[in-house]
Amino acid sequence: MTELQGGNNVYSGGVAMCPTPDEIMQWLWIVAGTEGKGGIFWMLNSRSSGLESGEWALLDFRGRPTSRVDAIRKVAGVWAAHKNLLGRARLEDSGVDVVYFRESGWAENLLCPEGDDRYEARQTGASMKSAVSCFRALTERGLNAGFRSADEYDFSPDDFSGRTVVISNQICIPWKYRSLLGKFVSGGGTLIVEGLSAFYDEYLRNTMTTGFMFRNLFGCSVSEFRIRDSIFNVMADSLSLPAFPWHGILESSPAMTRGASEMTVSAGREVSVHAYGRGKVVWCPSNIALGAREAGDYAPLSDFLYGLLPDRAVSSVRFSGYQDSMLLRTLRSGDDTIVICINKSGSVRTVTLDNVAGTSSSDVIFSSKASLSGPASLTLAPEGILAVCFHAG
């Protein structure tokens, strides 16, 4: 993983900070929890002149190790002691991926007004913030959600059973993905789409005024988008989802689609669920990801996304419920299961893990302000880190 911040920055960099020893250890365990093989810090000792002089260093101005170096040493010692276990560890694949489109960021660079707009959705980076919001909502469920560009996603298999793709406010989607996403869903995949996704194609032509490019796949289309001045609620069955700022109005007319069951969209409905081949598409054309970000509450978005996931994701190791500001990564090493948990909530938290039944024993690999408080329960103080190996029964 490159490049991890080694020390204080003053004038360089977009955000000024000095990482704490806790943050240094958290970053290293996140590297391990994502199958990383190491971390590279910028930098060991600072320059004396030029750009970044006197900044970013792990050592102080006298060349002495700081507490940040001690934190690295502490984690590195544990890694060395468990080299075989961690060296063969592989991420548990939940089958869930948040997918973004580079073209959406390029479109924002061209289209977004200059200066700060009062609507974050009209600022450059809104499409990425939307995707990250969905990633956060899934991660705070304890799921190993993937996060990747569409051109990095493998659309080559014929069978996508148990797999889920989330597309969140990706305003520009090239035409070639109409067939690729159609193959994914017809092959058994679950596609969840929200916001102004596919508002443009790769030529910045609006796709919704001349026959929506995804109408057959999504099962319906949008009649228009209406901006709202404040957070509003979108109903998905009995679940109320904060949304902001655009409200997408779904067409209620049925679609004639290959292999599609009757559409569940009806007049006034704000979320459609459409069967296509062996899979399904769930479409909410309002900004529920940015709505969660604006409201500062990701629990409803997490509940919504989690409720749509297939058994493959639900049966993976995860928190027993939504856990705000908690991170969990799960790896398999041979027959053993390794979990890495980090508490960023600011309060002491005890969490229970689901789907670790069948393990005969467990060992704490690393603990900082945390402990194993039960067979599948973890207790962590603020900024706490806990890495546990559950042994197969």
Band (pLDDT 50/70/90 cuts) for residue 257 is very low
Residue 89 lies inside a defined structural domain of this protein: no
pLDDT at 321 over 50: yes
Q: What is the pLDDT of residue 193?
A: 98
- Percent share of the chain, pLDDT over 70: 95
User: Are 37 and 168 found together in one domain?
Assistant: no
C-alpha to C-alpha distances, 36 to 31, 33, 93, 333, nearest whole angstrom: 5, 7, 15, 14
User: Are 227 and 142 found together in one domain?
Assistant: yes
Q: What is the mean pLDDT of residues 147-151?
A: 97
Q: What is the pLDDT of residue 252?
A: 63
User: Are 346 and 388 found together in one domain?
Assistant: yes
Band (pLDDT 50/70/90 cuts) for residue 201 is very high
Query: Looking at residue 65, what DSSP letter applies?
Result: B
24: containing domain: 4-81
Q: What is the pLDDT of residue 266?
A: 43
pLDDT at 258 over 70: no
Average pLDDT, the chain: 93
Residue 327 lies inside a defined structural domain of this protein: yes
Query: Which are the contacts of 66, defined by CB distance < 8 A and separation ≥ 6?
Result: 7, 58, 59, 60
Q: What is the pLDDT of residue 359?
A: 73
Final residue before a domain boundary, out of 81, 113, 136: 81
Band (pLDDT 50/70/90 cuts) for residue 290 is very high
pLDDT at 267 over 60: no
Query: CA-CA distance, 148 to 280, in Å (whole number)?
Result: 21
Higher-pLDDT residue of 374 and 385 is 385
